[in-house]
Structures are given as C-alpha cells and as structure tokens.
C-alpha cells in the first residue's frame, strides 16, 4: 500500500514511524514550510521533516493546496492512502479525493469533544477525567469524519499538557498501526459516525491566555498551569514581579485576602489568594532565569517570608 504522510510537530513523528513499520510504502511526506525558530530566528525544519530526511523519504512543503500544480504533484505519487497527523493545513475536497482509500486523520481527543487545534490543553483546562485519540476518516468539515478506531486514557490529577501530549502520541501511533495492519489484511474498517451531541471546539492557544487571574478559583488556575506546561507557560505577578509558573496546586483554605495577595511563603510553596482557595506556586521562573523551586526563589526574596510571617 502506497501511503503519503502529512504532519509537522513532534506529536506526528511516532505516527510516521508507525507507517514505516507497518509494511506500507511511505512514498512522500508533506509538512509545513520551514519556519524561523530560536534566538537567531533562522529557518528550521519541522520534526517530521527531519525524521523523513533521516529515513530517505521525499519531502514536500507546499504553503497550501490551492494551486492545481500542488494537487497534481500529490496525485503523481499515486497514493492509496493519505495519513494526516497535526499537519496544520486544511485539506480541500479535491485533495481528500486523490488517494484511493481517502485520507485518515489521527486526532488527539475523544470526538466529537475537542475538535480543532488544541484538544490536549483544552481537555485539561476543562477538568476532563479522560482523553484519547481517534483514527478518523477525513471529510471536508473540521474533524467531523467518522471514527474508525479509538483509544482512551485517563487524565491524571497532576497531568500536564506535555505529559498528556507524549502519551497520546504513542496511543495515536498504536491506533494507526492497527488500522494499517487490518486494512492491508483486506479488512474494511467499520466507520462510526460522530454523534451530534457533545461537540466542543478546541480553539488554538493564545499566549495571552497564559496570564493567571487570581480573581478566579484556585482549581481553575491550577488546571491552566498544568495545561500550559510546557507551552505557553502560565504567568503571574507575584509581589510586584512577573513570574512564569511551571507548577502549582490548588489548596483549600479560607481567607479574607484580596485576590493576588501572598498569604503564605514557605519551602513548600508560595500561596496566592484566589477568589476560592489559594494557589500554591511550587516551581517558578524569574525573568532571564531558569525554573526553580519555591524554596530557592524565597532565598532570593526573603522579604516575602517576612511579610507574611
């Protein structure tokens, strides 16, 4: 079976390797054009492009598929199937119709909940107790196609965006490998239509969302800290200093302090008053510094301990 793979970030690499290990022939890899990255803003290849080059697979990087020449180039690979994993481009109907078996998508949610760009972080932000991946037959709509294979996993109480990302990447590769194996054995996968009820959209993350508003409940802020680790990383003003917050936990405490006020500062953490409860900051990062534990931060700012003692 001739497969064209389309993906861009780290999340997609495990699925590319699953395609290669399946016995299918990966005839081309499509990925986003190189983007500026790092302090020097030099053009950098995507993780999927790097993996494809290492494997000796031809790489294509069209800015879109609006041009007929780009669609013709895809058709020239004569794909039986196109596998799409966090590619970053919307595929028009004319592209979906090119492969003989259509296009599959590996999506990091339990559809129809969290269709769209940031399903991993949105699930943590919402306090969901489970997530997963769906192998889906693609349609023209945004993540609306029927589900072929699903894998579920619990969201742990201390789950971060990074830890859930890594586990779902492995689950996605597992679901894709099963789909490829069964299809190449001659089986037609049963397609389950998504229910109309329960649709939620996982809108793209915005760095402005990372700012913590202590007028909210501590539990909501804890979820934001976990969801936005490792990107874009939560931020907060703590006693006059802007900090990045890498880890924190909500604590149940009754207080009369104004939201945002430091109400305790110990080696265990820095407690910030919230509308409900308090948020205990345990790992923070000062401007220009590296992430450090609360105890090290307080060593640099002893006045915080004195102010609340």
Q: Which residue has the tokens 């294509």?
A: 60
Integer Cα distance of 303 and 299 in angstroms: 9
Backbone CA torsion sign across 97, 185, 189, 27 = negative
- Residue 247: closest CA among 236, 260, 255, 262: 236
CA angle 195, 198, 200 (to 5 degrees): 120
Does the annotation flag 110 for ligand binding? yes
List Cβ neighbours of 210 (8 Å cut-off, separation of 6 or more). 224, 228, 232, 233, 234, 235
Which two structure tokens, joined as six digits, stand for 3?
């497969």
φ, ψ of residue 300 to 5 degrees: the values are -85, -20
Does the annotation flag 112 for ligand binding? yes
First-to-final CA distance of the chain: 69
Residue 89: Cβ within 10 Å count? 16
Does the annotation flag 109 for ligand binding? yes
Binding site, annotated residues: 109-112
Name the binding residues for (6S)-5,6,7,8-tetrahydrofolate: 109-112
């Amino acid at each position: 079976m001739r497969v064209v793979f389309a993906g861009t970030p780290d999340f997609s690499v495990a699925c590319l390797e699953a395609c290669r290990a399946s016995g299918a022939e990966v005839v081309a890899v499509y990925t986003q054009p190189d983007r500026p990255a790092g302090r020097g803003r030099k053009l950098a290849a995507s993780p999927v492009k790097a993996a494809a080059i290492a494997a000796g697979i031809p790489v294509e990087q069209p800015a879109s598929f609006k041009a007929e020449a780009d669609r013709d180039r895809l058709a020239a690979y004569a794909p039986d199937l196109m596998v799409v994993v966090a590619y970053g481009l919307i595929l028009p109907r004319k592209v979906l119709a090119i492969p003989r078996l259509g296009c599959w998508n590996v999506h990091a949610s339990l559809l129809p909940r969290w269709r769209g760009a940031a399903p991993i972080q949105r699930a943590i932000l919402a306090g969901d107790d489970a997530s997963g991946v769906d192998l889906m037959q693609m349609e023209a709509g945004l993540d609306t196609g029927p589900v072929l294979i699903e894998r579920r996993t619990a969201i742990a109480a201390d789950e971060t965006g990074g830890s859930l990302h890594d586990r779902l990447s492995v689950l996605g590769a597992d679901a894709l490998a099963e789909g490829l194996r069964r299809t190449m054995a001659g089986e037609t996968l049963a397609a389950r239509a998504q229910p109309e009820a329960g649709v939620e959209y996982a809108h793209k993350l915005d760095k402005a969302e990372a700012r913590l508003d202590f007028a909210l409940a501590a539990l909501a802020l804890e979820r934001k800290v976990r969801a936005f680790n490792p990107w874009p990383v939560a931020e907060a003003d703590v006693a006059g200093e802007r900090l990045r917050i890498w880890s924190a936990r909500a604590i149940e405490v009754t207080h009369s302090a104004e939201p945002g006020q430091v109400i305790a500062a110990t080696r265990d953490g820095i407690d910030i008053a919230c509308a409900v409860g308090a948020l205990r900051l345990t790992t923070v990062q000062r401007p220009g510094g590296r992430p450090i534990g609360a105890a090290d931060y307080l060593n640099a700012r002893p006045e915080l301990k004195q102010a609340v003692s």
